[in-house]
Chains A and B, each alone.
Chain A
Amino acid sequence: MLEYEGVQYKGFRNLYNEDGEAIGFQVGIRLITYRGAWLSQFRFAYVEVDGEKYRADRCTFVVSGVEYTYEETFTLGRVKWPLDEAMIIRVKKPGGLSQGNHTVSALYGEVASYIPGDAGEIDETRTSHGHSEAIGFTREMIIV
């Protein structure tokens, strides 16, 4: 089962290369709505950790075990981000995140054709994900 919050604690950890060097970190997010999205409907602004924003150019996105760049998702109108599956965001950050507490948030959404005027990119001046309630997008989480 998923965690209630948009940002998932499960899966939050550093990523390492074959030499054991930390090259980044990953964090899961889920859709807080009532239907899944096609990947072409996915909109992403950033993952933010302790005030530093990591935008799409430093991230890849893993859905059902397949890793995509943000640009690749634009044309994937037949690949699904299931409602009950966390999408894992892998973030490039040499050295990874430091051991201890971190404040983690994410700003993302999906386009809904049946809602008027909902067409484009995320308005970052709004604090909440487009159509969902503004809950759980910021969490305190520990890196071991």
Chain B
Amino acid sequence: MATPAIKGPKRGVSIYSYSGEWGVTMNLEDCFKDIYDMGATGVEILANGHIDNYPQPTNEWMDNWFRLCTKYNITPVEYGHWVTSRLYRGIMELNTEESLRMLKQDIILAHRLGFTVLRTKLGVIDWILTPVRNWREIILGALDLAERYNVCMCPEIHQPTALSSKMVADYVEFIDKYQTKNFGLNIDFGTFQNVWSKDRPPIPGVPEDGSPCSYPHELRALLPYIHACHAKFNNMSEDFQETTIPYPEIIKEFVDGGWDGYFLSEYEGPHKDEPGFVSEQLKRQHVMMKRILGY
């Protein structure tokens, strides 16, 4: 079965969602089967966790990867990886050269596995997730390679980071300045969370009055810079509603703006280690997304 050529938001799943069962009750094929069952067609893996013998997978592992993608009709969408800035004791920000070594290694491996988007996780230096001070040098040093291998490096804009923050403005300025298609944004829907548990402890950077970090309408100007999204969710009710994040408003922005790409589900609620629990939550979320999208 060929992947339907839908232009618009498409449904996928990040293997992150299964992390409570990974290696204990589920392996890669189990995850792919589950994704296939919900009719989703894209996947995100976390390279450092889900690739055997990372960063040098065997040919056997590579063969199996492509076999699974074909068998379950899954497109490799996003390759999650880390530029590990605190790699050594006493060093809070790894130098540019070694950071680039790691990043380049991941660009090449991501391409070999068929991915086109990288969720490039840079180290942070404070409680509101400001990236390492040399992020521009690191990204700039990898742009040529990313272009050659046709991948886009995307930092994840994650709660408590707001779409209206200086961090996002800095990234957009960088993209505009270099006119690059190889650096962009991954938006994590947790930034739109507007319902909280009553006894929530304060989260640094999150408004204390219960309002969200970001509002869906703020997506509009950013859509051209967004290459993938983390469809973060915390709780799907039995009647297929996400109770903490305004999905209908979020999805409407992407549809109205003519955005084309993948929503990759990330379950962030409790009971992740309870066999089958996350699968049920994912299926409810995909019912919701399917209903909102109309396909």
Which chain A residues numbered 56 to 79 have a C-beta less than 8 Å away from chain B? 74-75, 77
Is B124 a contact partner of A2 (Cβ separation < 8 A)? no
Q: B86 at the A/B interface (Cβ < 8 Å)?
A: yes
Are A1 and B54 interface neighbours, CB within 8 A? no
A33, CB-defined interface residue at 8 Å = yes
Q: Which residues of A contact B116 (CB under 8 A)?
A: none
Q: Are B24 and A113 in contact (CB under 8 A)?
A: no
**Interface size, chain B (Cβ < 8 Å):** 35
Q: Which residues on the A side are within 8 Å of B121 (C-beta)? A: 114
User: For residue A77, which residues in chain B have a CB less than 8 angstroms away from its CB?
Assistant: 84, 87-88, 98
Q: Which residues of chain B are within 8 angstroms of A105 by Cβ–Cβ distance?
A: none
Q: Given A4-B273, A83-B23, A116-B129, are A36 and B54 neighbors across the interface (CB < 8 Å)?
A: yes
Verify B86–A118 contact, CB threshold 8 A: yes
CA distance A120 to B16 in the complex (A): 25
Q: Are A36 and B48 in contact (CB under 8 A)?
A: yes
Could you tell me the distance between the alpha carbons of A97 and B183 in the complex, rounded to whole angstroms? 55
Q: Is the CB of B52 within 8 A of A82?
A: yes
Chain B residue nearest in CB terms to A34 = B19
Cβ of A115 under 8 Å from chain B: yes
Counting chain A CB atoms within 10 Å of each CB, the highest count among B16, B85, B122, B124 belongs to: B124
Closest chain A residue, CB of each to CB of B132 = A113
Interface residues on A, range: 20 to 34
Tell me, in angstroms, the Cα distance from A34 to B22 when the chains sit together: 8
B106-147: CB near A (< 8 Å → 1, else 0) gives: 000000000000000111101111000000000000000000
Interface residues as binary, B7-35 with A (CB distance below 8 Å gives 1, 0 otherwise): 00000000010010011110100000000
Known: A34-B49, A84-B23, A114-B122. A119 touches B88 (CB 8 A): no
Q: How far is the CA of A34 from the CA of B21 in the complex (A)?
A: 10
Q: Which residues of A come within 8 Å of B, CB atoms? A: 1-4, 30, 33-36, 38, 40-41, 74-75, 77, 80, 82-84, 111-120, 133, 135
- Known interface pairs A3-B24, A113-B83; 5 further A-B residue pairs with C-beta atoms within 8 A, sorted by A's residue number: A2-B24, A35-B46, A35-B82, A74-B89, A116-B129
List 15 A-B pairs, Cβ < 8 Å: A1-B23, A4-B273, A34-B46, A35-B48, A38-B87, A40-B89, A41-B87, A77-B88, A83-B49, A84-B22, A84-B52, A113-B85, A114-B129, A116-B126, A116-B204
Which residues in B have some Cβ–Cβ distance to A below 8 Å? 16, 19, 22-25, 27, 46, 48-50, 52-55, 82-89, 92, 98, 121-124, 126-129, 204, 273
